[in-house]
Amino acid sequence: MSAFRLSDQILDAAGLSRELASASAGACVGFEGWVRNHNDGKAVQKLAYQAYAPLALAEGERIMAEAAARFAIERAICVHRTGELAIGDLAVWVGVSAAHRDAAFAACRYVIDEIKRRVPIWKNEFYRDGASGWLHPDGSPVEG
């Protein structure tokens, strides 16, 4: 199974974590990114994520391979949601297993930072005042 995935279904963090199990792993670090009810001083009602799947999957796999090459890890997985999400929904999950915690923490941070920076996934925030706004993967507004 691919290390980087897109999903339009609710994420099962416990099930994903089990995919990282290894007899030689002494550490597992996970990151969960949830939909929050505010951003940049605005009350958020819901989000919708869109991705250009062929490029997103290719770039996501590159990032996962980079993490494996840079850090002494056993396995890394990242799954990012697409579609409409409610407040509190799990939007992105990253998990890393390694023999030691330092590598697991460093690799997990690297993966989420690079995914947000490089993978073409766009977020449309829907605000309580009825407005909406598109954000680039890095969180900056899309000017239009």
Tens of pLDDT, residue by residue over 1-43, are 799 999 999 999 999 999 999 999 999 999 999 999 999 999 9
Q: What percent of the chain has pLDDT over 70?
A: 96
* Residue partners of 11: CB distance under 8 A and separation at least 6: 79, 81, 90, 93
User: Is the pLDDT reported for residue 84 higher than 60?
Assistant: yes
Please tell me the pTM assigned to this model. Answer: 0.94
Tokens 């925030």 -> residue: 125
User: Is the pLDDT reported for residue 69 higher than 60?
Assistant: yes
User: Is the pLDDT reported for residue 138 higher than 70?
Assistant: no
DSSP per residue over 83-129, as a string? Answer: EEEETT-EEEEEEEEESSHHHHHHHHHHHHHHHHHHS-EEEEEEETT
Note the pLDDT of residue 79: 98
User: What mean pLDDT comes out for the span 43-48?
Assistant: 98
Distance CA 142, CA 51 (A): 15
Structure tokens at 86: 């409610």
Domains of the chain are 4-130 (3.90.1170.40)
Average pLDDT, the chain: 95
Structure tokens at 25: 């792993």
The b/e string for 1-14 (b: 16+ C-beta within 10 A; e otherwise) is eebbbbeeeebeee
